[in-house]
Structure 1
Amino acid sequence: MTRRDLLRMIGITAGSAVMYQAMAGMGAIKTPPKRAATKLEGSVHGTSVLILGAGLAGMVAAYELRKAGYKVQVLEYNARAGGRNWTLRGGDSYTELGGETQHCQFDQGQYFNPGPWRIPYHHTALLGYCRELGVQLEPFVQVNYNALVQATGYFDGKPQRFRTVKSDYHGHVAELLAKATSQGSLDKEVSKEDKEILLESLRYWGGLTKDFRYTMGPQSGDRRGYAKEAGGGLNAKPEYSQPMQLHDLLASNVWQNLIVDGAYEYQTSLMQPVGGMDMIGKAFVREVGQVIRYNAKVTNIEQDDRGVTVTYQDTLKPGAPQVAKADWCLCTIPLSILSQIPIQVGAPMAAAISAVPYLASSKVGLQFKRRFWEEDETIYGGISYTDSPLGMLSYPSHGFGGTKGVLLGSYTFGMQAFEWTALSAAERVRKAVEYGQQLHPAYSREFENGMAVGWHRAPFTLGCFGLWSDEARKDHYDNLCQVDGRIALAGEHASYLPAWQEGAVLSSLDAIERLHARVRAGSRA
């Protein structure tokens, strides 16, 4: 049996998490090494760089270029820095396309991250800046085995615990594979010795009985939980719970949610900044805020062999266009916006800018009077999944044991997101409470207020992230990442980590290193 065959069998039966661990153990993959510190060495003689956009890509570039001696100016469309690195708190206002304005009423200390909300452990560049800039981190609970999975029309309409779905699915699959192994179906694939080990591992992994059955009892109860928990004193003995039928698990499609703890991006540990994701953006602002010009709407980008000229308008004081000039330009404006701005670049880069659509996405944040998910249902952090229009909802990974809390009450993509944002913001919030009631009976009586953000209606990005296809990457990605004359692009769209802040950071570092090489080559010419 080849190593590939074995890994494939492990992946099919045990899931990608176990397969990943097996690959790591075999040396087939390695944890990505920590990225070396960026070194922009050599004198730059006061060379100037104009950065368009004060999201993470723009501020990383400003931070590193200033340290290297460049003269830096940043133009930012919003009245704040951070871009999609954004947190809503009480007192904030947000106006989306169409003109509807929401005023956040969250209590002090409560917040909602409309954009990125978690950082995987292997995003070492971003984590490195958190360490360097003093951004305090705390655990983000991605997988909670006590969270819920809901499938309309199944299980008597009741949401199921993630642990019961996972345990029952693994148990039934382990029983089937054990039967196939015992009947000799795998004799050609594994040796007699490996067959015995495989059967024992299936019994252990799937919670099977000694005769390799998955049924109600101590083995399954130890994984899926109990109908009556163990206690102390009289009547303390636990009562076993009844596993679900394999047919119901398969027909309901709840198994689709089981991959979440195995996907590389979501494997523990994940983290979040204490106090909100925008603590990262605010840390960068402390370093480079003095070179950022806010409320600057870029309307034209030109270049020649001497430098770059950018025309922009002050959105607070509309009037005559203003001009910013520099020797070089790093543009981090999302392609969904940049494709609508005249930019003087060659045909290959221009085609690349226009080749990438952006994914629609919608989020709803809901504040509740009390943390009923903790008090009533012992759910501390994590994500619940539903086939209702909510998509998913997530419980805060901070403030455990407190009073009030803000849930991510809905998170959707694509057509589901378009359906949500066809509604007013207030109606989105109302619908999120209505559908959430199907998972948590306390929803409606504990709800206080909420905020809704549809990313394809956000004026500064018009989408959640760049949605590359394999064909588009093949034809346009390298052209997008070139230095075109005196202009380079950066952002998550210029990475193989779409939607992640790590992609924005790494693309920015790569772009400024190549810009710096151009500058140094010119100074030596």
Structure 2
Amino acid sequence: MMALGLLPSAPAHAFNLSGDGKGKHVVILGGGLAGMASAYELNKLGYRTTILEARNRSGGRCWSIRKGSTNQEGDGPMLTANFDAGLYYNAGPSRIPHHHQLTMHYCKELGVPLEVYNNVNEGTYYFSEGKGPLSNKKVRAREIHNDMRGYMSELLAKALDQEKLDLALNKEDAAKVIEYLRAEGGLDIDKLYKASARRGYIESPGAGEKSGKIADPHKLADIIQSGLLDPDFYNVAEYTYELQMTMFQAVGGMDNIAKALEKKVISSLKLGTEVKSILNVPDGVKITYKDKQGEHEMKGDICICTLPLPILSNVNHNFASEVSRAIDFVPYIQTGKMGLQFKRRFWEEDEQIYGGITHTNNELTQIFYPSYDYLSKKGILIGYYNFNEKAKTVGDLSMADREKLALEKGSLIHPQYKQEFETSFSVSWHKTKYNMGGWAVYNSEARKTLYPALLKPDQNVYFAGEHTTYLTAWMAGAFESARSAVAAVHSRVAEQRVKYPVTSNNG
């Protein structure tokens, strides 16, 4: 019936608000996903919206670096990416979890095609610099994962046999657990871990008599002494809720989501407009902004502010003290990425790596392999994706030295780097103008003392953005916060109209 047009389709995450906002002007600060999604939904309801965005592009942190992309860090020069046309990497969000329903909904509603993002790949590497038996060697992730599952299962099975675990299990239940451990860890009949095909081959099976040759497992002591159980390698993606497959990405770059939103709100969007002050006034809000022509004032009935808190902290305002305190004291993570373009996709051709992540304990932290254009000629790796002190250390380097570091450390894993490398482009989010951080980082105390102040309006100013959600660092945080702010604004306007109905001259 839907195909015949006899039954309307039901959006997966419909947003059905009654009433309209005609006659009301909402000024939205920030043209990222939260700001544009707010305008998109408000425009549907008849509001007049204006989006003030300091950059000369929309999307904020939803940004894909391609040929001609520019970025400025601090007072440094404006740099331009020189990747080949058609190649890109996502400097900001790169993954969409399948359970982020609102992000998936907007992609569907806006007509943004998706493809599978290969986040989990057992063929990638662990690489630990150090002095252990396995240090300074690239070890396939599947070898470590399966060896550790095997050893842990063996230890648990032995403990169950000896009734050393404090579990209220009868013999029949314990036997079932042991059978599970045999399957989980690949244990033999004696409940001992022995290497199997799970961890790969050193000689692949094939035709005729080629049955394949399996390597011996790594010794548990060698894994431990080589640092491969250290926190740098804890991020086992299939265990982390947000990183569990299936994951998706926008075809052609995540910024296609921002571009699709921009098309819907283009009449509201004012680029190159840097907000200088936000003032609550008796009849609404007064915003001062600066563009190429100088400073201007704009009045609105209501404001939705989506500016990242490190930026908002330096904007003049008359917010309540608790709001001002939250803005000033919620920290943002230091993080950076570098894209490396290579003339040949050697990770696929030489090492059979198609997507996924290599983990290291050095400054690179992670190397991401592209999940698009498999088997094509060229490609871009994310040469590092680092956080906190490592991101600060790398971010403090010059662009040339960042590239040098990425190539030197990356060559320890992929010696093909030096011969195949062509060009690079890096972004340190904590140094990037109009961001000054990757995403908000709350501890439990900050959630109790700072976070609540950002969840309610300060007079006529509402707050949105990933920092007003429990989905920090995800596009879903921007979308969910936009929906929340729009619903709150519309509810307020509806209440005012009920309380103060507009009457005709004859009423």
Scaled by the length of structure 2, what TM-score is found? 0.93
- Matched with 2:27 is 50
- Matched with 1:397 is 371
Distance 1:285 1:348 in 2: 33
- Matched with 2:147 is 168
Are positions 1:492 and 2:466 aligned together? yes
Q: Is the CA contact 2:71–2:432 (under 8 Å) kept in the aligned structure 1? A: no
Are positions 1:66 and 2:23 aligned together? no
Letter of the structure 2 residue corresponding to residue 298 of structure 1: V
Q: CA deviation at 1:262?
A: 0.4
Are positions 1:280 and 2:254 aligned together? no
Map of 1:47-446 to 2, 5 A cutoff? 47-152=24-129, 153-154=131-132, 155=134, 157-186=136-165, 189-215=168-194, 220-233=195-208, 235-255=209-229, 256-257=233-234, 259-314=236-291, 317=292, 319=294, 321-446=295-420
Letter of the structure 1 residue corresponding to residue 201 of structure 2: Y
Q: Deviations over 1:107-145 (max 9, x none)?
A: 111001111111111111111000000000001111100
Q: CA deviation at 1:198?
A: 1.1
Q: Deviations over 1:146-177 (max 9, x none)?
A: 00001123316311000000000011111111
Residue 450 of structure 1 is aligned with which of 399, 402, 424?
A: 424
Q: SS where residue 300 of structure 1 aligns?
A: strand
Q: Is the CA contact 1:257–1:385 (under 8 Å) kept in the aligned structure 2? A: no
Q: Is the CA contact 2:13–2:101 (under 8 Å) kept in the aligned structure 1? A: no
Residue 463 of structure 1 is aligned with which of 437, 441, 447?
A: 437
- Provide structure 2 residue ranges, at least 5 long, that are not aligned to the other structure: 1-10, 500-507
Letter of the structure 1 residue corresponding to residue 393 of structure 2: E
Q: Is the CA contact 1:93–1:101 (under 8 Å) kept in the aligned structure 2? A: yes
Letter of the structure 2 residue corresponding to residue 507 of structure 1: S
Distance 2:465 2:316 in 1: 19
Q: Is the CA contact 1:483–1:515 (under 8 Å) kept in the aligned structure 2? A: no
Structure 1 pair 518/156, CA: closer, same or farther in 2 (3 Å)? Answer: closer
Distance 2:472 2:249 in 1: 19
Q: Deviations over 1:336-365 (max 9, x none)?
A: 110111112222222221221111111110
Letter of the structure 2 residue corresponding to residue 297 of structure 1: E
Q: Is the CA contact 1:305–1:485 (under 8 Å) kept in the aligned structure 2? A: no
- Matched with 1:26 is none
Q: Is the CA contact 1:394–1:407 (under 8 Å) kept in the aligned structure 2? A: yes
Letter of the structure 1 residue corresponding to residue 92 of structure 2: G
Letter of the structure 2 residue corresponding to residue 281 of structure 1: A
Q: CA deviation at 1:318?
A: 5.2
Q: Is the CA contact 2:135–2:227 (under 8 Å) kept in the aligned structure 1? A: no
Greater helix proportion: 1
Letter of the structure 2 residue corresponding to residue 458 of structure 1: T
Letter of the structure 1 residue corresponding to residue 99 of structure 2: H
Letter of the structure 2 residue corresponding to residue 179 of structure 1: K
Structure 1 pair 35/470, CA: closer, same or farther in 2 (3 Å)? Answer: farther
Q: Deviations over 1:194-226 (max 9, x none)?
A: 1111111111110111111112xxxx3221112
Q: CA deviation at 1:437?
A: 0.2
Q: CA deviation at 1:285?
A: 0.8
Aligned-pair identity (%): 40
Range moving further from structure 2, 274-283 or 153-162? 153-162
Q: CA deviation at 1:45?
A: 3.1
Structure 1 pair 60/441, CA: closer, same or farther in 2 (3 Å)? Answer: same
Q: CA deviation at 1:258?
A: 5.5
Q: CA deviation at 1:227?
A: 1.8
Q: SS where residue 482 of structure 2 aligns?
A: helix
Q: Deviations over 1:462-518 (max 9, x none)?
A: 000111121111012121110121110100001111111101111111011011111
Query: What is the RMSD computed on CA atoms of the aligned residues?
Result: 1.4
Q: Is the CA contact 1:171–1:207 (under 8 Å) kept in the aligned structure 2? A: yes
Q: SS where residue 385 of structure 2 aligns?
A: strand
Are positions 1:37 and 2:14 aligned together? yes
Q: Is the CA contact 1:171–1:206 (under 8 Å) kept in the aligned structure 2? A: yes
Q: CA deviation at 1:36?
A: 4.2
Q: SS where residue 329 of structure 2 aligns?
A: coil
Q: CA deviation at 1:413?
A: 0.6
Distance 1:99 1:40 in 2: 46
- Matched with 2:451 is 477
Q: SS where residue 56 of structure 2 aligns?
A: coil
Q: Deviations over 1:59-111 (max 9, x none)?
A: 00000000000011110000000000001111222222132332211111100
Distance 1:240 1:349 in 2: 61
Distance 1:191 1:35 in 2: 46
Distance 2:356 2:250 in 1: 16
Scaled by the length of structure 1, what TM-score is found? 0.90
Letter of the structure 2 residue corresponding to residue 63 of structure 1: Y
Letter of the structure 2 residue corresponding to residue 417 of structure 1: A
Distance 2:328 2:186 in 1: 53
Distance 2:40 2:495 in 1: 22
Distance 1:92 1:444 in 2: 25
Distance 1:88 1:94 in 2: 10
Q: Is the CA contact 2:89–2:382 (under 8 Å) kept in the aligned structure 1? A: yes
Q: CA deviation at 1:190?
A: 1.3
Distance 2:62 2:51 in 1: 17
Q: SS where residue 222 of structure 2 aligns?
A: helix
Q: Is the CA contact 1:303–1:309 (under 8 Å) kept in the aligned structure 2? A: yes
- Matched with 1:21 is none
Q: SS where residue 316 of structure 2 aligns?
A: coil
Distance 2:478 2:347 in 1: 34
